Chains A and B, each alone.
Chain A
Amino acid sequence: MTKYSIKIAGAQGFYGDSPRAAIQIAKEKGADYLVIDSLAELTLSILQKDKLTDEKLGYARDIELMASTLFPIAFKNGIKIVTNSGGLNPEVAAKKVAALLEKQGIKGIKIAVITGDNLLPQLGEMQQAGLVLENMDNCLPLSSSSFEITHANVYTGAHTIAEALDKGADLILAGRVADPCLTLGILIHHFKWKLEGNLEQHDLDKLASGIAVGHLLECGGQASGGNSYAEWPMDYSISNLGYPIAEVFEDGSAIFSKLESQGGKVSRNTIREQLIYEIHDPANYITPDVIVDFTAVKIEEIAANKVRFSSIKGKPRPDKLKLSIGLMEGYMSDQFMFFSWPYAFEKANRFIETVKEIWAKLPVKIERAEFSLIGINGIHGSAAPLPAKEVLDEMNEIGVRLVIKHNDLRTGKMAMQSIICLGLNGPPGLIGIPGWGKTDRLMLSLWPTLIPREWVKEKVEIIES
């Protein structure tokens, strides 16, 4: 019998997030499902850097830590796990996890592998068929770019998640399934919501609600009092911040909460600030499965750390899916130096002028260089108001950040080595910290574009530990 409601917890907000909150949820059986979103927009570029060094990488490697910490507790307590941690290599990730589970004597776990988001092999064919793969940001065709293409992954929908759960999966390792679709897939499986075919308005509203719940869970602690100006000065523990748990009902409405044993806070404010996060038009939030209209949303505090969330509307899904193409654009290198009182501001500026003079004479090409003063304009650049002269003259200390973009590996090292002499030759008291600054970081840029969904064929495979 279908349970009247189902509990889904946001177990991780990004690749590298701590599994601590999720482990506690698993221990207390605080949810039926854990959703682990590892793929921020930037993450595939990070995973691609791994894969370039080793073909057997390209998945979110913290899945290995979770396989020996979080997963055994979750499986023991009957909690299922849905994640896109497979990244660019879900098959390899699944084998790795299966091997780690077997090592701990955990057998009979069904692991679903979802693939089909990798469209790199089809790019040429697509262009031959007349798709120009226009950049969503600057409207240029892909053919105008001369950079090497590193990866091309399409954001896919919830149906593979639902299918894998229908087949009895305990753990789902997907690639680029869109973040909120991980959650929607669970709800489609559990409540048998209609996803395709002739959809009525109430069907669309449910799908849209599922996306909204997924959106609120996908950044982990950001929905339960983390990174919060709305709740600043954050009068709750953030060292053991509880992650959001959504109890979702058949009509798509939900009650958000967190474990009482953990810190953090779930309030109208924390839900509101996560709802607006990385959303553009609130009347048209486009996902592979449904276009969501959040404008009539109701967010009500019904008890301490309990928030009721409802009234989400849906519109039919878009014809096209978003394809994110990675380009190898070059390299970047940076360095940090510090100056103290007296004349910190003047010394920092003189240092920057001197670096510019030295770099102008180098026999290599620096494509772009940026200089900023940490403590003055490091974060906001030209938009930061410059303090009054009296303040600048008395500054205790100022940091200098130098960053360059270059096209070959030689340039970064040469540029940074060329200024080391300023430790003795430069403005007085220069401080450089060994190990700070990094040369030759790969610069992978993203080319977002839209493609007809007919080009996408996903696959669900089940392996067993």
Chain B
Amino acid sequence: MKKTKLIEIASARSGDKNNVCNIGLMAKSPEFYAVLKEKVTSEKVKEHFKDLIKGPVIRHEWDAIESLNFICNQALDGGASRSLRMDTLGKNFSSHLLRMEIEIEG
């Protein structure tokens, strides 16, 4: 097993709906999609974002496009129009998720 960052095996895009941020995590290949499904759980995502995400994280599997979609609740400091953060829209939740480390065979 070796450690790898998600950016090596996936890409991501995130956005906002009021106080909810969704992060789409797209595998670079079907093989990597299987790895993402096994290793990148909603619990792991919630923990990776520390107190940026206050509510539960829900994971949707989207096999047709080899992607996982994470719905992060209470994640945007109340929503873009009232947030005091720099990343008011959560556009860089994608970036931070890609920094997550997982163990893969290799």
Contact = CB atoms under 8 A, between A and B. Distances in A.
Interface string A267-295: 00100111111111111000000000011
A368 interface: yes
Contacts of B98: 229
Given A230-B11, A444-B81, A276 B18 contact: no
A209 interface: no
Contact of B15 (A275, A277, A372, A383): A277
Interface in B72-106: 73-74, 78-82, 84-87, 89, 91-92, 94-96, 98
A414 interface: no
Contacts of B18: 41, 136-137, 446, 448
Interface residues of B, number: 44
A379 B95 CA distance: 10
Contacts of B38: none
Interface of A: 41-42, 45, 136-137, 227-230, 232, 269, 272-283, 294-299, 326, 329, 332, 368, 370, 372, 374, 378-384, 401, 403-405, 443-446, 448
B49 interface: yes
A368 B92 CA distance: 23
A280 to B, nearest CB: 5
B82 A137 contact: no
Interface of B is mostly: mixed
Contacts of A370: 84-85
A137 B11 CA distance: 28
B90 to A, nearest CB: 10
A281 B26 contact: no
A459 to B, nearest CB: 28
Given A297-B64, A372-B86, A379-B87, A445 B26 contact: no
B13 to A, nearest CB: 5
A41 B65 contact: no
A295 B74 contact: no
A404 B84 CA distance: 7
Nearest to A229: B11
Contact of B11 (A136, A232, A280, A326): A232
The 8 lowest CB-CB distance pairs between A and B, nearest first, are A276-B24, A230-B11, A229-B11, A278-B15, A445-B82, A383-B50, A45-B81, A382-B50
B17 A41 contact: yes
Interface string B1-43: 0000001000111011111101010100000000000000000
